[in-house]
Amino acid sequence: MSRRILVLLAAWTGVLGGCVEAPRPLGEQCDRTTDCDTPLVCRLGRCRRECGNVRDCPVDAVCVPTNEGSGACLLPEETRCALASDCPDPLVCRGGRCGNECVEDRDCASGAVCAEVEGGSVCVDPAESACRLSSDCGREQACIDGRCLSPCRADRDCREGARCEGGACVAIERPDAGPRDAGVDARVVVETCEMPADCWAPNVASFGCDASACVIDACADGFGDCNETYADGCETDLRDDVAHCGACGRTCGLGGSCESGSCDGLADLSLSGSQTCAVRGNGRILCGGEIDAALGSGERRDELTPDVVLVATVDDAVEVEAGFGVTCARHATEAVSCWGEGGSFGALGDGSWSTRFTPRAVIDGAGSPLRATALDLTQYHACAVRPDGQAVCWGWGTDGQIGDGMLASRNVATEVAGITDAIDVSTGSNFSCAIHGAGEVSCWGDNLNGYLGDGVMDHGPTCDDFAADDCSPTPVAVVGIDDAVQIDSGGDHTCVVHAGGGVSCWGSAGLDLGQGPLTDPLYVPAAVAGIDDAVQVACHRRDTCVRRASGAVTCFGSNADGMLAVGNDADVETPTDMMTVTDATDVSLGDDEACVLSAAGGMLCAGSNDTEEMNLGPTRVGEEWTTLLEVGGFQ
């Protein structure tokens, strides 16, 4: 049989049996992606190149957003026209668009017919009908580019997150699926109009029509038009976008998360002489300040900058404590980790005498990871409470502040002698204290200026730092306290909150004891007048602040650089409220600054953001302020 006869038979077989349409090339009309030659996709009724931005398109082409989950490159012939000469050969201008001229159906591509339009005849889809909404079409069809069509043949005809079932795109169910995943709208964006009802774009609740152009009047609940571009509708999901959380431009900040339109916020903070750190609600830790290693980012900085950084590897913190060049965190698992300049003091508690730029687990004498329910850190030593109530300490110990009966430093968590029922701990410069389960308080370490609060001037051994200093390397009972619920120590003093809301302090003579000007130390606790609703006390060097049940914060002390936020930098001799804060949820003091967390969100601070420390990040570096200001970088 001749080759010509074979060809004719094959042709007639195709006619009688139905020809299989070949995939369509770039620019051909299409209904679905499966109509197009791979890797082309069907977008806006034509086979096109898919794109993420203009760099994915040929020179002079434009990448436009579509409703199918990705952009598409416009075709050169899709330029609007007024004259045939506006279009590339062999296209003609019909209805203001360049198209394929025709006389009969056979002049058109497979699947298209020749139809008369304004100005002449061009190739169109035979299924084209007058629809604006999918509700204009049959149950199994959708309105696609003005035509009632079956939305899909295969999964790749659907946008990301949907699959093709029975000719319709349906959302792929996910465990967290919500109302926004209930279905996939197959419509394409409509930008020109005679009335608002002509318009459509994703996630738009209502439209306007301005000079024949569609505009967005209102977005669907939970969405926003944050890029102010009509073509992609209300493109931003305000429920989980950390850059636009709940509203366009409302950022959740470094390491933040957004859930149901609300940022996670800050849950805990701690200041020291060298760094400021805060715990986000999602467990991440932010730090800023002077000593690079204490920031825990894992990177060495060549020079001091005001940048706030994320602590590496930590995403489950519930508490952070900042010391001088050392930082520690307590995790949701009750594990404890530390980082910074442990040096010869062993303040990292990881069994080494080294500096660490990233967190390392604190271990006990047996090499097991420490678990703790409370934690405190000041300068070069730290203490914690194990779940069984045993108090442990590690770090600098030459004044007996470790509490194991020795005048020696420890690089692992070491049990404090006789404290097996602790509920809270605090650390001063060279001493430590703990609250017992019944409310009593014990302290140990250096007793210079009555740090131990037991009224005793001579405990026997002398501390090796200063030959004349008295110290106790084992705990002694603080006088007259039997109802303490929270404790904190500064460099030279300690204060407790009583069960009834009162506050008592003892230690080195100064305004930080709440008694006005003193000439002698307080060797036993004294009540601070006028405070009966305290829920937290915070101490540091020369100052003390008390957070009250009302959300107000009352402070007293030296007020260096205006850190107590009373409107000036003069000494605060009697308890005085910080200005403007009425909803504080936490308070912490540094050398020259004080910060509070606000229930409304964010960190508010007063004092000095010294250029040599930059503890408060990028907010007004080198300035002093005497009222609370929101601190950038820690939002």
Rg from Cα positions in the chain: 36
User: 406 with 463: CB under 8 angstroms?
Assistant: no
Q: CB neighbours (10 Å) of residue 244? A: 23
Q: What are phi and psi of 363, to 5 degrees?
A: -125, 165
Q: Looking at residue 430, what is its pLDDT?
A: 94
Q: Looking at residue 312, what is its pLDDT?
A: 94
User: 623 with 634: CB under 8 angstroms?
Assistant: no
Q: Considering only CA atoms, which of 344, 329, 497, 331 is closest in space to residue 409?
A: 344
Residue 93, pLDDT > 90, answer: no
Low-confidence winner among 160-174, 265-279, 575-589, 610-624 (lowest mean pLDDT): 160-174
pLDDT band at 180 (very low <50, low <70, confident <90, very high): very low
The percent of residues above 90 in pLDDT, for the chain, comes to 56
User: 555 with 576: CB under 8 angstroms?
Assistant: yes
Residue 317, pLDDT > 60, answer: yes
Residue 139, pLDDT > 60, answer: no
Q: Looking at residue 89, what is its pLDDT?
A: 58
Average pLDDT for 224-248: 94
pLDDT band at 78 (very low <50, low <70, confident <90, very high): low
Of 178 and 379, more confident:
379
Alpha helix positions (H), 153-193 = none
Q: Considering only CA atoms, which of 626, 624, 622, 612 is closest in space to residue 273?
A: 612
Q: Looking at residue 76, what is its pLDDT?
A: 65
Residue 145, pLDDT > 60, answer: no
Residue 552, pLDDT > 80, answer: yes
User: 423 with 493: CB under 8 angstroms?
Assistant: no
pLDDT band at 577 (very low <50, low <70, confident <90, very high): very high
Q: Looking at residue 556, what is its pLDDT?
A: 98
Mean pLDDT of the chain: 84
Pairing, β 484-489 against β 471-477: unpaired
Q: Looking at residue 150, what is its pLDDT?
A: 56
Q: How far apart are CA 393 and CA 410, in angstroms?
A: 8
pLDDT band at 477 (very low <50, low <70, confident <90, very high): very high
User: 218 with 205: CB under 8 angstroms?
Assistant: yes
Q: What are phi and psi of 176, to 5 degrees?
A: -100, 20
Average pLDDT for 173-184: 42
Q: What are phi and psi of 499, to 5 degrees?
A: -60, -30
Residue 406, pLDDT > 80, answer: yes
161 Cβ contact partners less than 8 Å away, ≥ 6 residues apart = 69, 171, 172, 181, 184
Q: Looking at residue 181, what is its pLDDT?
A: 41
Q: Looking at residue 18, what is its pLDDT?
A: 44
Low-confidence winner among 170-174, 220-224, 364-368 (lowest mean pLDDT): 170-174
Q: Looking at residue 149, what is its pLDDT?
A: 55
Average pLDDT for 150-172: 64
Residue 95, pLDDT > 90, answer: no
Q: Looking at residue 8, what is its pLDDT?
A: 35
What does the block give as tokens for 397? Answer: 């110990």
Task: Look at the pTM and tell me if it is higher than 0.75.
Answer: no
Q: What is the pLDDT of residues 512-542, one digit of tens each?
A: 999 999 999 999 999 999 999 999 999 998 9
Cα Dmax for the chain: 123
pLDDT band at 483 (very low <50, low <70, confident <90, very high): very high
Q: Looking at residue 305, what is its pLDDT?
A: 84
Q: Looking at residue 141, what is its pLDDT?
A: 55
pLDDT band at 172 (very low <50, low <70, confident <90, very high): low
